[in-house]
Copies of this chain bind each other. A is one copy, B any other.
Amino acid sequence: MDIANLTKQWAERMGPRSHVVVSSRVRQARNIERVLFPPHANKEDLRRVCELVNRLVHADATLHNFQRIDINTCTSLERAFLKESHIISPELEQAGEYRVLYLDQQRSCAIMVNEEDHLRMYCLQSGLQLTPVLKEINAIDALLSRSLKYAFSEKYGYLTSCPSNVGTGMRASVMLHLPGLAMTQQVEEIVKELPQRGLTVRGYYGENSEFLGDFYQFSNEVTLGKTEEQIIESLHKVVEQIIAKEEAAREALFEKKRPYVEDVIWRAYGLLVHARIMASSEAFKLLSPIRLGIERGYFPSFTHHDLNRLIVQVQPAHLQITEGETAGVEDRDIARARLLRAAFTGMDSHN
């Protein structure tokens, strides 16, 4: 499989509210009745789930076009590449037998088989589009549920491996870019208020990942006792409030502390155009003010797509696939600096 050409992504499109919202994602967790859930399943159980899903996908006119990737036949580098692209979860990256990914041609919807649950399916779109994304993933869920009998309880709803997903089995999340709130030290305050609204925050690569480049992933913590629509509505409302706060923070910064913000933006640009060695964590940190700069018209020839693409391209596995598997950390840091220099040099900028 040529993993490296899996580049056409949600990131190429430009969704609503993209000045703050990078992407919206909804995923559903489902399990098949009378088959042990993955944490307790034996090989035969896992194989059976694969077979059931595979038969169904082949028979369905829509799902038929999904690309099948057997995770266990991927190298660890390819799996890392898929994780960096947000195509598979860190859980699926661990691999193991009978782990399969079905990916649609747009790279925006996917079904992961035998992750923590038998089925984890998601849809991802650019910008703030929770309701459309929910509809899309529910359409796929409906196709699957025609032939598969899900583990479901009248009292609790969908049953899942981890109690935290029981109920709707849904996790809706929104990736926000909050440089304004980060620069004005307001993120902590926002995060504090999340639990009482049934929400939580994670880093760029989900659970336990670092907060890099002022990117924050907000999602529902609660899956029980509410409908999918209620959860989405509540998340949407909070996101709109955060957007308003971020906009106000940016306005205040550019009005009252323009030299300071411009210093941050242009220093990042200066380093991206000139550095010869760059670690991925630094690249992430520097690309954040550039995204803010794009938004404010400092880089007219640069789009959010370009930036979304770069953020993924500078990740270690992506660079290793470009540079060759033998490339060590130092080679990658040099290649990363070269890639960024090429992307930013000669870029039209209102310097």
Chain A residues close to B by CB (< 8 Å): 259-260, 262-263, 266-267, 269-277, 330, 334, 337, 345, 351
Contact = CB atoms under 8 A, between A and B. Distances in A.
A259 B337 CA distance: 10
A276 B262 CA distance: 6
Contacts of A269: 270, 274
B334 A259 contact: yes
The count of identical subunits is: 2
| Chain A interface helix/strand/loop/mixed | helix
Nearest to A277: B263
Nearest to A345: B351
A27 B271 CA distance: 43
A337 B264 CA distance: 13
Q: Which of A263, A269, A271, A273 has the most CB of B within 10 A?
A: A263
B275 A270 contact: yes
Contact of A277 (B260, B270, B273): B260
Contacts of A334: 259
Nearest to A338: B259
Contact of A275 (B267, B277, B330): B267
Nearest to A274: B270
